[in-house]
Structure 1
């Protein structure tokens, strides 16, 4: 026992590393430990590039964190004993904490429809991306969200001999502005992606995907990008969570049920402008990780943090290496009419991704 305030950060993604980095500078009197099952930090927003066969960078977590005097434990948390303030690990050891930062991020949801777990590839983790190799024949991507769009464009550009289909019940980028949706469709079609925006997938089989109308689309590989979930650790440990399993938080990102626990990023329910919950995104993880650290440091000094005030400015999508989309946003995260497209947008997106990676790495 050192007598120092012990802060344990669960998760070494964007939110967890941003929190640890900020705590190292704002709460120097504390002992900070980061726990993650992986040995390396990989930029999650580049996983579609990895799946398309490109090499993406990774950084050794132990080395990175040691440079900031942050301890690193490579292990998976199996239980949080909130009474004893202890995290149990799969290494048959445990870590005691005074304050816990819960930043385990999100994972794919393989239970969305029958057959996903058995027959589809996922794209939520580096391990998911590493398992996928574009085969000869048709690649069906299910989901017209950001992940599906970016993967479809990257595959079509990188693997021009593959047949790439993007399926979903709505237009790709349906939440974006009319101009943004038109640009996405135009670029995808130029790259040779076949788009089905009337396709509701009800089953994934070894042969392909079955639609609600009973038809079967044959595929050499199916990639499932429709929806994400979160680890069930918080729910199993008795923290107050929503129906998905995300930690319910107050205006300072403190758990509603356990005030010595803070949550940030995809695994937290965080109120945003206009009463809308902040979405799962790197653009959410970094600032909320930093804010949670600031709130903790403020309370350690005997103060009371100001409530989180946050808004999105843009949403960025890559459409291969030579095109992109920057959607400007209103305060409540709804799209403005203004968009940036083409090579300039691709450059801006790359700059944002590099900046996010730098901001997360201690």
Structure 2
């Protein structure tokens, strides 16, 4: 367990900011506030992972050396508690190991409900194991045709063209979160790489038995596969909040309801950022973090609430990586597929850019 503490002179001098969740949003927020407040980051892992790099790490495990980052490497002036938050009581957060962490300002950034190893070394071993499974398989079944399923199918098809890849998706088209034109271009690209795509069909993932290599779709088709990779949607990481003082602020989809300043509705000193909120996040978690960092700094300095920044969702560019060289990009006025959007995202998957944002060497491999 890691528990790094700020200098003693902080104690009782600076306001206390507690960030629960060390994902893409929470890590950037903690880093942004660490020299403005007594910051504590609570996360069940000792590392931050750049999420959009995870699929490349499955086909190239060494890629994870730069994308899986110790919290201590970017949070040099704060406290890190490697544990789960389990309750919020009287301006304190209770952790699974029994600690009560007091706060003046609280930020919830627990994203999606992921089951990941506690340590960076275990996560790197996991990628090596997944890579070995892919290499040992002649046929691979991917369940889910959202961005994760599509990008994983593309990564495997490009790096292992000899593999037989089948993607099953229960929707009428791939990538329902973007336009039809971009989805159709993506489908044609996958077909050109010999990925077999089955739409409007599902696999009963709850009844997939270990060792089985034959799978039935809802359409009655039989698929043989040596390896199955599940890329279906994840639940928001809000289950721990259901019995806390914030239980009335959770919507029917398990997300926290926030106002334009990204404060949890009805709360003066509690914010929420990233995929845990009812404002579309995914690619925008970092933008949430920067807005809240600005607002908390304002409040820490005695500024008026009326001067807080509002988060304003805008139409934005979406880029879905298709292997190492290609991508599909949806802009407000046009859709492009191929090498041009690939140059923007697919080569490095924004890993260098994200590391730089955290104050780290873009090229360095962490030890």
Give the TM-score taking structure 1 as reference length.
0.82
Q: Deviations over 1:241-273 (max 9, x none)?
A: 112322111111111143321000011112xxx
Structure 1's 242 and 209: CA in aligned 2 closer, same or farther, altered over 3 A? farther
1:359 aligns with 2:365: no
* Match in the other structure for 1:314: 317
Paired with 1:18 and 1:152, the residues of 2 have a C-alpha distance of 29
SS in 1 for 2:265: coil
1:213 aligns with 2:213: no
Paired with 1:79 and 1:126, the residues of 2 have a C-alpha distance of 30
* Match in the other structure for 1:79: 87
* Match in the other structure for 2:144: 143
Q: Deviations over 1:272-294 (max 9, x none)?
A: xxxxxx1x41x210000111121
1:230 aligns with 2:231: no
How much does 1:9 deviate? 0.7
- Contact map agreement 1:154 1:321 (CA 8 A) in 2: yes
Pairwise mapping of residues 172-211 of structure 1 onto structure 2 (< 5 A)? 172-203=174-205, 204-206=207-209, 207=212, 208-211=214-217
- Contact map agreement 1:286 1:360 (CA 8 A) in 2: no
SS in 1 for 2:72: helix
- Contact map agreement 2:86 2:94 (CA 8 A) in 1: yes
* Match in the other structure for 1:255: 264
Structure 1's 297 and 322: CA in aligned 2 closer, same or farther, altered over 3 A? same
- Contact map agreement 1:12 1:36 (CA 8 A) in 2: yes
How much does 1:190 deviate? 2.1
Paired with 2:150 and 2:284, the residues of 1 have a C-alpha distance of 20
Paired with 1:17 and 1:195, the residues of 2 have a C-alpha distance of 36
- Contact map agreement 1:14 1:360 (CA 8 A) in 2: no
Q: Which runs of 5+ in 1 are unaligned?
A: 110-124, 271-277, 330-335
SS in 2 for 1:79: strand
Identify the range of structure 1 (184-193 vs 209-218) with the bigger mean alpha-carbon deviation.
209-218
Paired with 2:337 and 2:180, the residues of 1 have a C-alpha distance of 13
SS in 1 for 2:187: helix
- Contact map agreement 1:12 1:34 (CA 8 A) in 2: yes
Paired with 1:215 and 1:179, the residues of 2 have a C-alpha distance of 28
Structure 1's 106 and 90: CA in aligned 2 closer, same or farther, altered over 3 A? same
Structure 1's 96 and 264: CA in aligned 2 closer, same or farther, altered over 3 A? same
How much does 1:38 deviate? 1.5
Number of matched pairs: 324
1:285 aligns with 2:295: no
Q: Which runs of 5+ in 2 are unaligned?
A: 1-10, 116-122, 361-367
How much does 1:357 deviate? 4.1
Q: Deviations over 1:187-231 (max 9, x none)?
A: 212222111113133444223443223444232222221212122
How much does 1:148 deviate? 0.5
- Contact map agreement 1:168 1:196 (CA 8 A) in 2: yes
Paired with 1:328 and 1:195, the residues of 2 have a C-alpha distance of 25
Structure with bigger strand share is 1
SS in 2 for 1:229: coil
Give the TM-score taking structure 2 as reference length.
0.80
Q: Deviations over 1:298-329 (max 9, x none)?
A: 22323121322231420111100011111113
* Match in the other structure for 1:324: 327
How much does 1:80 deviate? 2.0
**Aligned CA-pair RMSD:** 2.4
How much does 1:150 deviate? 0.2
